[in-house]
C-alpha cells in the first residue's frame, strides 16, 4: 500500500497466482488497484455510526433514550445557533469585500455561495458545513426522542 495523493489511499494487490487478488473479476493477471478516497472512509464511518445507533436504541431504556435525545438536540441546536451567527457574519464580510451583497440576503444565503471567490469560500464554507452537521445532529436527537417515546408506549402495553 502507498499513498497516491493527499486524502486518497491507493491499494494494489499482487499475489503468487499471477496477480489475481480475488478483489475484482477480469483483472487479467495484472494486479488490481483501488483508490480509496476520503469519501469512502466518511461513508464507512457513517454506516458504522448508524449501525451503532441502531444497536444503542435497542439496548437503552426508553427514559434513557428520551434524555439522550433531548440533550443531544438541545446541545446541537445551541451550538448550531452560534455557528450560524459566525457563518452569516463571515458570509456578509466576504460578500461586502466584493460589493456583491443583495438586499435581504439573509433569507436565502446559500444562493450566494456561487458569488464567493476562493478566499471567501475558504472563510465561509467550514461554518456552513459545521452548521449543517449540527442541525443533522439535532434531528438525530429528535429521532432518539421519538424512538424512546414509541418504545415506552410499546413497553407499557
Position 81 in a domain: yes
Average pLDDT of the residues in 63-76:
95
Whether residue 86 lies inside any domain: the answer is yes
Does 111 map to a domain? yes
Question: What is the C-alpha to C-alpha distance for residues 36 and 44, in angstroms, rounded to an integer?
Answer: 11
- Looking at the domain assignment, is residue 113 inside a domain? yes
> If you average pLDDT over every residue of the chain, what do you get?
81
Q: How many domains does the chain have?
A: 1
Domain presence at residue 26: no
Asked if residue 35 belongs to a domain, the reply is no
Q: At what angle do helices 118-155 and 62-97 cross, to 10 degrees?
A: 160
Count of helices and strands (H, E) across the chain: 3, 2
Any bridge partners for residue 36, and if so which? 9
Cell numbers for 140:
438525530
Is residue 8 situated within a structural domain?
no
In a domain, 10, yes or no: no
What gap in Å lies between CA 90 and CA 128, rounded to an integer? 10
pLDDT tens digits, 76-86: 999 999 999 99
Question: Range of 78's domain?
Answer: 61-155
Q: Which is higher by pLDDT, 9 or 145?
A: 145
Long-range pairs for 48-54 at CB < 8 Å and ≥24 separation?
53/140
- Please tell me the predicted confidence (pLDDT) of residue 119: 92
Amino acid at each position: 500500500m502507498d499513498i497516491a495523493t493527499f486524502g486518497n489511499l491507493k491499494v494494489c494487490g499482487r499475489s503468487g497466482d499471477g496477480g489475481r487478488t480475488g478483489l475484482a473479476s477480469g483483472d487479467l493477471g495484472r494486479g488490481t488497484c483501488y483508490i480509496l478516497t476520503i469519501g469512502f472512509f466518511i461513508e464507512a464511518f457513517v454506516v458504522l455510526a448508524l449501525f451503532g445507533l441502531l444497536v444503542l436504541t435497542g439496548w437503552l431504556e426508553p427514559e434513557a433514550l428520551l434524555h439522550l435525545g433531548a440533550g443531544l438536540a438541545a446541545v446541537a441546536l445551541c451550538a448550531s445557533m452560534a455557528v450560524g451567527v459566525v457563518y452569516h457574519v463571515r458570509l456578509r464580510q466576504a460578500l461586502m469585500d466584493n460589493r456583491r451583497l443583495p438586499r435581504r440576503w439573509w433569507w436565502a444565503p446559500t444562493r450566494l455561495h456561487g458569488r464567493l471567490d476562493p478566499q471567501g469560500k475558504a472563510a465561509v464554507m467550514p461554518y456552513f458545513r459545521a452548521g449543517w452537521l449540527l442541525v443533522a445532529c439535532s434531528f438525530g436527537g429528535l429521532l432518539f426522542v421519538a424512538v424512546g417515546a414509541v418504545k415506552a408506549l410499546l413497553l407499557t402495553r
